[in-house]
Amino acid sequence: MDKHILYTVLESLTAGMSATINFHEPFVALSGDYTIVASKVGRGRGGSRVIEIAPVSNPTDSFAALEIDGREKALGTGTSEYINTIIVDGKTYGMEDALETRRTPTRAKRPSGETVVVPRSKTERTPRTAASTAQSERVANVMGEILTENPATNFKIIAKDRNSTMNGEWRVDSFNYADNALSMKLISIDDATQMFEFDSNTHGADIRDIQVIGIENM
């Protein structure tokens, strides 16, 4: 999950709030519904943001760190690459689909005290399955909410296929966001003569991640 987006989400959380957090491997097993125990600025320099969370099903089993390569690392912006999506008040922040089966948690430390995009051919497009539809809506909602707040946001798009021509950095010239769908007119930051008409229903399921890379002056 993009660090900047994650920071903004964590900054909005306060003790007692509820959130659904989905993790990437090797922490997929931790995905679930949580109560926020604490959200605060991390130690040291860099302006990190950290949280302590407790499973809704087991409020006494709170944790604030992940065990990575044998070392404890605070849960928050410093571990953003392991966080897939966060759902707060019905809004989803993050990109990738987290539909993997939950397993028994094995590694979690409990504390003591955003180039040119070319549309794929019809034969290359992802089939409209329930999973791809959910992914497309997730992409639309995350990007749409960011653009609603900051219409001049620039994005870096990272496709599931590393060879995809969708990979690159884009300026949003115009957009329309409604009913879990997003359409955008994108202009390449590298070459303003190259444009792409983005439609979340067609392209959303092919996206792995979105990064906010800047906001233009209005």
Q: Which residues pair with 94 in a beta bridge?
A: 85
Q: Which residues pair with 191 in a beta bridge?
A: none
pLDDT higher than threshold 80 for residue 140: yes
Instruction: Return the domain boundaries, the chain.
Output: 3-94, 130-215
Q: What value does the CA radius of gyration of the chain take, rounded to a whole number of Å?
A: 18
pLDDT of residue 114: 35
Confidence band, pLDDT 50/70/90 cuts, at residue 44: low
**What does the buried/exposed string (b/e) look like for 177-206 if buried means 16 or more CB atoms within 10 Å of the residue's CB?**
beebbbbbebbbbeeeebbbebebbbbbbb
Task: Please give the average per-residue pLDDT across 52-70, as a whole number.
Answer: 90
Which pLDDT band, with edges at 50, 70 and 90, does 217 fall under? low
The CATH fold assigned to 130-215 is SH3 type barrels. (2.30.30)
Cα–Cα distance, 215 to 61 (Å, whole number): 40
Read off the pTM. 0.49
Q: What is the largest CA-CA distance in the chain?
A: 57
Residue 99 has pLDDT above 50, yes or no: no
Is residue 13 a contact partner of residue 86, using CB atoms and an 8 Å limit? Answer: no
pLDDT tier at 17 (50, 70, 90 boundaries)? very high
CA-to-CA separations, 167 to 62, 64, 174, in angstroms, rounded: 38, 34, 19
